[in-house]
């Protein structure tokens, strides 16, 4: 059975995009060395922490947010 996809509200999408812009230099870095990958993962955890602290939903995983930001 497939998991239900996360539906973000317009406000949540705006917040995610704002956070992505804040950390753009890290998350859009094309390097794939271990330090860059570690830094990207840590940055996505930080984005998730900030996102989860600013909206009324239960905590979210970063994967759906990463996919949404990548599509834009």
- pTM greater than 0.85 (yes/no): no
Report CA-CA distances (Å) from 23 to 12, 29, 58: 17, 10, 23
pLDDT tens string, the chain, 72 residues long: the values are 566 666 788 998 899 899 999 999 999 999 999 999 999 999 998 998 898 888 767 666 667 777 777 776
User: Which burial class, exposed, middle or buried, applies to 22 when counting CB atoms under 10 A from its CB (0-12, 13-18, 19+)?
Assistant: middle
């Amino acid at each position: 059975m497939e998991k239900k996809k996360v539906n973000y509200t317009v406000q949540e999408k705006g917040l995610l995009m704002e956070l992505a812009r804040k950390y753009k230099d890290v998350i859009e870095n094309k390097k794939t060395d271990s330090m860059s990958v570690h830094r990207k993962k840590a940055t996505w955890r930080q984005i998730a922490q900030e996102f989860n602290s600013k909206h009324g939903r239960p905590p979210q995983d970063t994967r759906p947010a990463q996919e949404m930001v990548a599509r834009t």
